[in-house]
Amino acid sequence: MTLHTGIKFKTSAPINVIEDWLETNCKGEWDLEVESISTVLKQKSMAVYFEKETDRDAFKAAYKTLS
């Protein structure tokens, strides 16, 4: 599996919400990494890497509804 493109972002959404969206909507492979978690603000810094640019673009478009 080669993941060509990625996005780093911050969110307060639960990790399972992000994973569920990726599993449902991505046509190619993906990998989600938690880079840091702030327990006070429930804010997470995450990175998601995609095999397909179309999956990345779809995630970018949907991101605002997930966070």
DSSP string over 26-66:
-SS-EEEEEEEEETTTTEEEEEEEES-HHHHHHHHHHHHHH
Split at pLDDT 50, 70, 90, the class of 1 is: low
Give the CATH number, domain containing residue 11.
3.30.70.260
Given its phi and psi angles, is residue 42 left (phi above 0), alpha (psi -120 to 50 degrees) or beta? left
Region for 55 from its dihedrals, namely left if φ exceeds 0, alpha if ψ lies in -120 to 50, beta otherwise: alpha
The confidence score (pLDDT) of residue 66 equals: 81
Counted domains in the chain:
1
Range of the domain at 43: 5-66
pLDDT in tens, 6-59: 999 999 999 999 999 999 999 999 999 999 999 887 899 999 999 999 999 999
